[in-house]
Amino acid sequence: MNWADRSPGAVPEDGIDVHGGIDSDGDGQADTVFAEHDDELALHTDLDGDGFADQVLLIGTDGLVREVAPPEPEDGGGFGAVLAGLLNWLFGPRPPGAGVDS
């Protein structure tokens, strides 16, 4: 066994990858990504430094914040889905025929 690989980030884990997100705690490591969840803004945050979200906070249009369990791997997710959700939340859905798919 290679003891050098015994860090939280070296353990395989499925879930929301936050490596491409923002550094919300000022430690120099990306730890939070944003996404749309119904009509709420979802903040997916890595609390243990392994690069995957451990906490999900939902912020409603009324400003109410609630914590929910992170999605299971079979629920989808990953950075691409999170980014798509954020862009959709910021700019709205793309009209049919718009973008690189057409």
The number of distinct structural domains making up the chain is: 1
- Is residue 53 included in any domain, yes or no? yes
What is the residue range of 45's domain?
Answer: 18-91
- Is residue 65 included in any domain, yes or no? yes
Q: What is the pLDDT of residues 74-95, one digit of tens each?
A: 555 566 666 666 666 676 665 6
In one letter, which amino acid is 70? Answer: P
What is the rounded CA–CA span in Å between residue 49 and residue 29? 8
- Is residue 101 included in any domain, yes or no? no
Q: What is the pLDDT of residues 35-58, one digit of tens each?
A: 888 889 999 999 988 888 889 999
Are the beta carbons of 43 and 59 closer than 8 angstroms?
A: yes
- Is residue 13 included in any domain, yes or no? no
- Is residue 67 included in any domain, yes or no? yes
Residue with tokens 């912020």: 59
- Is residue 31 included in any domain, yes or no? yes
pTM value surpassing 0.85: no
- Is residue 75 included in any domain, yes or no? yes
Residues with Cβ within 8 Å of 48's Cβ and at least 6 positions away in sequence, in order, are 8, 54
